[in-house]
Amino acid sequence: MIVSLVTPTRLDRILFLKLLCKCIKSQDYKNIKEWIIIGGDENNQPLKYKIDELYKQYKNLPRLVWVDPGKKLPIGALRNRGNDVVSGNIVVCMDDDDYYPPQRVSHVVTMFLMYKDKNVAGCTKHFMYDVDSDLFLQWSGFGPNHATNNTLAYRATYIKNNRYDDLKTFAEEPTFLKTFAEPMIQLNPEKTVVQIAHTGNTFSKREQISNMYILKNQKQSSLQFSNKKKKLFPKQLQINYSTICDDKTSYDIVYYLGTNPVKWKPDDPKIGGSEQAIVELSEYWATKGYNICVFGDFDEHFVRNNVSYKSWKRFNLKGEHKILILWRLYGCFLLNLNLHAKKIYVDLHDNHCFEDIGKYVNKISKIMVKSQFHKNIIDSKIAKESLVYKIIPNGIRDIFFKDNNIPRQRFRFIYASSYLRGLEFILAKLFPAIISLIPNAELHIFYGMGDINNEEFKNHIYKLLKQPNVYEYGRQPVDRILEEKSKADFHLYISETTAETDCISIKESSALGCIPILTNAHVFNERPGIHVDSPFNILNLCNLLKNDEYINKLRNEGKCHPSVLHWNQVAETWLTEFSLSH
């Protein structure tokens, strides 16, 4: 059988292409007629020059068939352009940045001779080497007719009636393989490919790797650890590919967020409190001359107020960063891997954490928590005496906290948290009792039901919202809520939730003179306001609310409470911590 090799590539992959030349030279099947290389750049002349140089360096490569589309095209179109000029009986795909063992072509030919009734071959359980983490992995497989393009081979007759989707920029296989309905020869993974995962991949594999650690049951993961690295991908190959991918970019401070179920951007007016912390701290540190990068779930690289924001999938594990901050559960999975930062902090915002964090105590400078309650609950879950904590609460923004001259409305109440955290009790019992004693009281509610799936609960809340003097606004920008707090007398948050570890919302209210009314439970006991026990005496509470002298005193005390810090104060505390930690 006569074989055609097909490889789309770009100029920035030329070092990978050099290694692919070695793979092709080492093939133990010699009837390879041609190597079809398709240029993927806008201007392919510099690429063609480099390829000609490779052909001079590596003698006896298959005949070069050069395809220049004349413009930059999606990967689906590039693969079609390559197939259009095939002259062999069998087409073997070789992606530019992967490693192919010497048996790659001969194994394909053998299998096609064995299975004469099938037109395509591939490998759904191929191996992968991640150059950043030095992990050798194997895909679990996605079905008997599934394969990714770097493992594919097909008879030349198949491409007469089957094409890729010209518009596909990644995941181009389904159209070509009839939505994976085309019967496929499953190739031996050990004789097919070792996929190279690196930060420059067209389609990043970092999410699948992180899921191996985040998913509690590894059987749910699409990747598994493999013990065949030494056999299939020896040390010299690891060095060869790692050298190409060795990104020396480093930062003073890196905030690593990992993947996140909620998409956000730093200029989002409805940004959550944990995300607000990243933006405020990073941008303050940038004003002090630090080189900062935030690696999160961002679709593109951008710079805002001298802070770089990049996709978490592009984070280089081998970067020599001074400070690495791992954010919440999503960032903590990196503790499983080899890290090269001088200091590593775990920044927790929730009452749960990476369950194996205790195994990596020697890597962690400190675990940053938001309150004594937060420390206690995390400590009880980790139970590792050698872990060191630092309590630094979140801050509040300076905007609106000057003299804003917004008139305050007496007995105007506000609620601004998840409706699952006590709103039902407030609407059904507390506020009706308040309004019976203070008829001009009003309750203004913000947040919305975006986090609620229970339709029965939603309908129940909707009915309660229809009572007199209750106004509901749904999700609103932060600035709008701050303005509303400036008008309000009191912030109702009667809840015993353990989900709050700090509660920026309560501290913003205190700073604005909107007095929180809280329980004594959990973190609320550490925050300023009127604290009530359950069950509590509504008459006594309303008498307190009517006592102008007491309320004014409490309002002034709340503005100066030790937990009510502005973001610049919090950011400076972090910087002091960085300098003190060893």
pLDDT band at 121 (very low <50, low <70, confident <90, very high): very high
Q: Give yes or no for a contact between 548 and 255, defined as CB atoms under 8 angstroms apart.
A: no
Distance, C-alpha 201 to centroid of its chain: 16
Contacts of 152 (CB under 8 A, 6+ apart): 93, 120, 121, 122, 173
**Per-domain boundaries in the chain:** 3-244, 253-391, 412-559
Correct CATH for 412-559 of 3.40.50.1970, 3.30.465.10, 3.40.50.2000, 3.40.50.300:
3.40.50.2000
Amino acid type, 299: D
Sheet holding 442-445, edge to edge: 470-472, 442-445, 412-415, 490-493, 515-519, 530-532
pLDDT band at 289 (very low <50, low <70, confident <90, very high): very high
Nearest-CA neighbor of 182 among 156, 154, 160, 222?
Answer: 154
CATH fold match for the domains 3-244 and 253-391: no
What whole-number distance in Å separates Cα of residue 355 and Cα of residue 368? 16
Q: What is the CATH number of domain 3-244?
A: 3.90.550.10
Q: Give yes or no for a contact between 101 and 171, defined as CB atoms under 8 angstroms apart.
A: no
3-state secondary structure of 561: coil
Which is the CATH superfamily of the domain at 253-391? Glycogen Phosphorylase B; (3.40.50.2000)
Q: State pLDDT tens for residues 219-278.
A: 567 888 899 999 999 999 988 888 887 666 789 999 999 887 778 999 988 788 899 999
The 8-class DSSP code of residue 182 comes to S
What whole-number distance in Å separates Cα of residue 489 and Cα of residue 512? 10
Strand partners, 530: 517
Structure tokens given for 3: 């074989």
Q: What share of the chain is helix, strand, coil (3-state, %, to 5)?
A: 35, 20, 45
3-state secondary structure of 224: strand
3-state secondary structure of 582: coil
What whole-number distance in Å separates Cα of residue 111 and Cα of residue 116? 9
Per-residue pLDDT at 206 exceeds 90: no
Q: State pLDDT tens for residues 433-466.
A: 999 999 999 999 999 998 788 999 999 999 999 9
- Pick left, alpha or beta for residue 448 (phi over 0 → left; psi -120 to 50 → alpha; otherwise beta): left
Q: Which of 206-215, 422-431, 516-525, 548-557 has the lowest mean pLDDT?
A: 206-215
Q: State the chain's mean pLDDT as an integer.
A: 90
Nearest-CA neighbor of 470 among 530, 428, 527, 407?
Answer: 428
What whole-number distance in Å separates Cα of residue 147 and Cα of residue 128? 14
According to DSSP, the β-strands at 135-139 and 127-130 are antiparallel
Per-residue pLDDT at 582 exceeds 60: no
Q: State pLDDT tens for residues 239-254.
A: 888 888 766 678 999 9
pLDDT band at 358 (very low <50, low <70, confident <90, very high): confident
pLDDT band at 535 (very low <50, low <70, confident <90, very high): confident
